[in-house]
Amino acid sequence: MATSIAQGGSSTCVVELEEIRPSVNPIHVEEPGKGQGSNIIHRRESHQNKENREWEEGALPSPTTASEVLERWNHPRVNVYRTFACFMGFTVMGLNDAAYGALIPYLEIYYHLNYAVISLIFLSPLIGYTFSAILNNSVHLKFGQRGVALICPVCHIIAYVVAALHPPFPLLVIIYILAGFGNGLEDAAWNAWVGPMANCNEVLGFLHGFYGLGATISPLIATSMITRAHLPWWDFYWIMVGFTLQTNRAIPC
């Protein structure tokens, strides 16, 4: 920069030059990789701050899993038929289990045996249930629910047809084991099918209610056939065959 200085009244001017020093801003050079790491850290902090703000504002996080729609007794539509078939199956189970006590007095007369020996027919279904508990998982894995829907009625029909032919008492005891085996498989299968449904408590209540219905009417039917219609005790099992055939209609669905 040039500066002018006046010397008294003379016109002579003295010009002095000053050095101009430019102000240089230092350039900040980042170390390799340092700037990139700072940007990553900055983005992470921004994302975390955003999540904290959403949490404070009451915003819910986005769902990460999807829930499965539960099957219902009336959806799909074919389940209405299947559920009715399960109710029929439990009705047959109740008819089967409650008939033993009502038939014992007439079995004593027919086979000329005392009460202690005739009472072996109460032990037979227990043995069948025990076998079904042991084989239940294997049968389900190998044949599936449709296979169970076929095996159980077949076991019942064989047992009831043989009982209707009033065989010797030892064979009657053995054949009741087959009826108990069918009951055990059916009991486990339909409880397992209804259990995962929506409103399963209500449906299971109706399911076991139909078992109670069968157990209630079975002694009434058996004793009425024998005492009022004067039919032999084994004719009751032809009624059981008819009920079981109706249950067997569930297999096509």
Question: For residue 126, what pLDDT is reported?
Answer: 93
Domain map of the chain by residue range?
98-250
Work out the average pLDDT over 62-66: 61
Range name among 6-20, 109-123, 171-185 with the lowest pLDDT average: 6-20
Tens-place pLDDT, residues 117-130: 999 999 999 999 99
Work out the average pLDDT over 51-78: 67
Whether the predicted pLDDT of 20 surpasses 70: no
| Residue 126 or 5, more confident | 126
Q: How far is Cα 115 from Cα 208, in angstroms, rounded to an integer?
A: 30
- For residues 94 and 210, the answer to whether their CB atoms sit within 8 Å is yes
* Percent of the chain surpassing pLDDT 90: 57
Work out the average pLDDT over 232-242: 95
DSSP category for residue 63: P
Q: How far is Cα 121 from Cα 114, in angstroms, rounded to an integer?
A: 13
Q: How far is Cα 217 from Cα 215, in angstroms, rounded to an integer?
A: 6
| Residue 10 or 161, more confident | 161
Whether the predicted pLDDT of 223 surpasses 70: yes
Helix (H, G, I), strand (E, B) or coil at 13: strand
Q: How far is Cα 160 from Cα 158, in angstroms, rounded to an integer?
A: 6
Radius of gyration of the chain (CA): 44
